[in-house]
């Protein structure tokens, strides 16, 4: 037994559907900060607090989400639901994580269409962002102790960080880490042909779209395509949507697209609810529903297919080695994103104090991260109001 395994809490009996609905519904309302923050909050809830699974199991599910296209944190929620209650848990966890965010974004979209501007989020986000940095750092520390099981994995993780910093595509970072670990264990000769092409299938898909008049059916097909082939963060989504919706189809203006991405970034829950906002602008409530179904439905299908394979991957010598490498690289990507977010979040003395206080409370008192996020929102609004 390794040190990481001995430190990990013993898992409890599987969660009920009600427990899954409560947890992921709550996260849908409180999980601000993008995928890295969502993953950190899920680890806090699922591993540390509820002990539904070990850190090793959580890392394997996280690694699996990086091998398929779609929104990572949403797919992780779906994976957790499947792990706990099979196909019913898959549906309950995913839907309950997505629906609160969709409701919030739809309300904002209604306001945007009616009044022509976005509500003011800056005060709230001023306080939430530094708290999120503390939450992610704590999760990275805990997951890192489980993922970095050998000095060689530490070297692979450092190489993944360096590659990400210099701009290497994240899919190549993940695939390269998997091949490095497999090669280091003497099984690399068979890996390149059987594993590396899997994540690259989506990456190679073209975003070219022929011009078409707007309609609910073309809107559904467009977002089904996006959800089926898109790897990466909300910024990759921005480039993808701009190419099609602004340049080729001319359904949106540059300003509308930037507003849509902003809403997806600053609201809780999945960043891909950007699609909900766009759908509402283009087709009202029906358009919002169609776009939301289109972009998220592939995630449910991909997890339903890949979820049962995760235990087999871990038992296989080749697949287990690749998965160890992907897990370490996933944390490396998460660490680089955290540094980038930290530069934008900790901008003055009040935000530095918020981040430090949140870290102390998390480490010393193990307070639920959702309460810290809400407290950060209140403090941010009060400080912003006082300064302005």
Q: pLDDT value at position 350?
A: 86
Same domain, 86 and 153: yes
Is 78 a member of any domain?
Answer: yes
Q: Which domain holds residue 273?
A: 206-302
| Residue 28, pLDDT score | 92
Same domain, 31 and 92: yes
> pLDDT value at position 187?
53
| Total residues found in the chain within this entry | 388
**Structural domain contains residue 2:** no
Q: Is residue 241 part of a domain?
A: yes
Q: Are residues 116 and 219 in the same domain?
A: no
Question: Domain check: are 307 and 296 in the same one?
Answer: no
Instruction: Chunk the chain into consecutive blocks of 10 residues (it has 388) and report each block's average pLDDT, rounded to whole numbers.
Output: 46 87 93 81 91 91 82 92 94 96 93 73 74 79 82 92 85 85 67 42 42 80 86 58 81 81 78 92 95 95 86 75 82 80 82 88 75 82 75
Is 7 domain-assigned?
A: no
Query: What local confidence, expressed as pLDDT, does residue 119 receive?
Result: 62
Q: What span, in angstroms and rounded, lies between the C-alpha atoms of 274 and 282?
A: 13
Tokens matching residue 151: 């000095």
- Per-residue model confidence (pLDDT) at position 201: 38
**How many structural domains comprise the chain?**
2
Contact 24, 50 (CB under 8 A): no
The per-residue pLDDT for 32 is: 78
**123, 115 Cβ separation under 8 angstroms:** no
| Within a domain: 6 | no
Are residues 82 and 47 located together in one domain of the fold?
Answer: yes
Those residues whose C-beta lies under 8 Å from the C-beta of residue 359, and which sit 6 or more positions away, are 134, 137, 138
Domain finish residue from 265, 284, 302: 302
Choose the final residue of a domain: 276, 302, 328: 302
Residues 317 and 289 in one domain: no
Q: Are residues 270 and 331 in the same domain?
A: no
Does residue 9 form part of some domain? Answer: no
The single residue listed with the structure tokens 């480490």 is 363
CA-to-CA distance for 245 and 264, rounded, in angstroms?
16
> Do residues 41 and 175 both lie within one domain?
yes
In a domain, 4, yes or no: no
Farthest-apart Cα atoms in the chain, separation: 62
One domain, residues 19 and 109? yes
Same domain, 48 and 109: yes
Domain end residue (candidates: 302, 324, 350): 302
pLDDT of residue 202: 41
Side-chain half-sphere of 362: how many Cα atoms within 13 Å? 29
**Residue 298 and residue 214 share a domain:** yes
Q: Are residues 310 and 298 in the same domain?
A: no
CB 329 within 8 A of CB 337: no
8 occurs within a structural domain = no
């Amino acid at each position: 037994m390794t040190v990481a395994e001995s430190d990990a809490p013993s898992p409890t009996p599987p969660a009920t559907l009600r427990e899954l609905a409560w947890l992921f519904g709550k996260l849908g309302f409180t999980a601000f900060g993008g995928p890295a923050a969502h993953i950190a909050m899920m680890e806090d809830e699922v591993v540390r607090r509820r002990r539904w699974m070990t850190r090793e199991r959580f890392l394997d599910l996280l690694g699996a989400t990086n091998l398929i296209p779609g929104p990572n944190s949403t797919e992780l929620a779906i994976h957790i639901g499947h792990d706990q209650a099979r196909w019913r848990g898959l549906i309950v966890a995913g839907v309950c994580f997505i629906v609160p965010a969709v409701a919030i974004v739809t309300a904002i979209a209604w306001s945007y269409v009616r009044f022509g501007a976005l509500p003011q989020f800056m005060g709230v986000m001023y306080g939430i962002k530094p708290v999120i940095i503390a939450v992610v750092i704590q999760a990275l520390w805990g997951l890192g102790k489980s993922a970095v099981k050998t000095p060689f994995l530490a070297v692979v993780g450092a190489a993944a960080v360096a590659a990400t910093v210099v701009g290497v595509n994240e899919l190549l970072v993940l695939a390269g880490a998997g091949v490095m670990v497999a090669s280091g264990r003497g099984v690399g000769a068979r890996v390149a042909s059987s594993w590396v092409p899997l994540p690259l299938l989506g990456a190679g898909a073209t975003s070219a779209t022929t011009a078409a008049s707007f309609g609910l059916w073309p809107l559904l097909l467009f977002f089904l395509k996006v959800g089926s082939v898109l790897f990466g963060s909300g910024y990759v989504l921005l480039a993808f949507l701009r190419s099609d919706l602004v340049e080729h189809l001319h359904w949106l203006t540059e300003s509308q697209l930037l507003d849509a991405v902003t809403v997806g970034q600053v609201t809780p829950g999945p960043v891909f609810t950007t699609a909900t906002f766009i759908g509402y602008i283009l087709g009202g409530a029906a358009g919002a529903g169609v776009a939301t179904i289109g972009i998220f439905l592939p995630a449910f299908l991909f997890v339903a297919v890949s979820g049962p394979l995760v235990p087999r991957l871990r038992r296989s010598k080749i697949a287990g080695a690749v998965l160890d490498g992907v897990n370490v690289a996933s944390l490396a990507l998460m660490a680089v994103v955290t540094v980038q977010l930290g530069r934008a979040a900790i901008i003055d003395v009040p935000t530095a104090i918020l981040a430090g206080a949140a870290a102390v409370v998390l480490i010393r008192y193990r307070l639920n991260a959702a309460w810290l996020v809400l407290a950060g929102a209140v403090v941010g609004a009060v400080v912003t109001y006082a300064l302005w």
